[in-house]
Amino acid sequence: MTDIPDPTRLTPTTRPDLTNVVFLNNEVTSEFIEVGDYTYADAEGDQTPFEQRCVKYLYGPQKLRIGRFTTIGPGVEILMPGGNHPMAGPSTYPFTMFGGDWSDATLGTFLAIEQPGDTVIGNDVWIGRGATILPGVTIGDGAVIGARSVVTGDVGPYRVVAGNPARLVRSRFTDEEIALLEDLRWWDWPVEIITRHAAAIMGGTPQDLAEVAPDQAPGLARSAQ
């Protein structure tokens, strides 16, 4: 079993023609972005790096954290807190960013304004074409973000959301099944085990994964009975 995509390469080694798919952990250079193995963005022919093409206002200190096996469609934009304007007083004008006397007069006020935290996108998340993720949002494992959606708040694990603002469409599994999947964490299994059980991961049930879980998580199969 050796014909598995190499997570240390920029594009899938098993499909040389699939040049639009970029494994992001081999492309990002910003200290403010963390990405897990096999997470990819579809660049759709755009050679601009992900952190310039999709991530806006990445000035820190907040980070963008993305898990493993997450897929990001073309045209997705992730807005970071660096682009926020102050809303604590009468004006939203960003005096501080212009430097000089304006910055001297407003820096203390700006720093005292509460800012969103890190933006967190979990494992095995699917973000559809043209979606926009607002600052400080957390998207749970296994969630699906509909095309053109605007995500303004947190999305729970294995929830499907769509619209502007994005609203819950449905849950992919029951609460009990979601808890089981969060315990199983198939995305953390060795890639050889993932490959062996890829059919069940793609098309099976949470209970199907629990049946093979003793390979990685002893006891979980018994708890799923």
Question: Which of 142, 157, 172 finishes a domain?
Answer: 172
100 and 182 assigned to the same domain: no
159 and 178 assigned to the same domain: no
Higher pLDDT, 155 or 115: 155
Confidence class for position 45, pLDDT limits 50, 70, 90: confident
Query: Residue 97 phi/psi, 5° resolution?
Result: -75, -10
pLDDT for 1: 53
Number of folded domains that form the chain: 2
167 and 136 assigned to the same domain: yes
181 and 159 assigned to the same domain: no
For the residues 211-222, what does the mean pLDDT come to? 59
108 and 37 assigned to the same domain: yes
56 and 145 assigned to the same domain: yes
Q: Where are the alpha helices (DSSP H) in the chain?
A: 50-53, 100-112, 175-184, 191-196, 198-203, 206-212, 220-223
Q: Is the pLDDT of residue 47 over 60?
A: yes
Q: Could you tell me the CA-to-CA distances from 197 to 113, 166, 223 in Å, in that order?
A: 48, 33, 20
202 and 162 assigned to the same domain: no
Instruction: Tell me the pLDDT tens digit for each residue of 77-102.
Output: 999 999 999 999 999 999 999 999 99
4 and 90 assigned to the same domain: yes
52 and 77 assigned to the same domain: yes
Confidence class for position 213, pLDDT limits 50, 70, 90: confident
Rounded distance between C-alpha atoms, residue 42 and residue 71, angstroms: 8
- Supply the residues annotated as catalytic: 85
164 and 183 assigned to the same domain: no
Q: Tell me which DSSP letter residue 116 carries.
A: -
125 and 192 assigned to the same domain: no
Domain residue limits at 28: 1-172
Higher pLDDT, 220 or 148: 148
117 and 199 assigned to the same domain: no
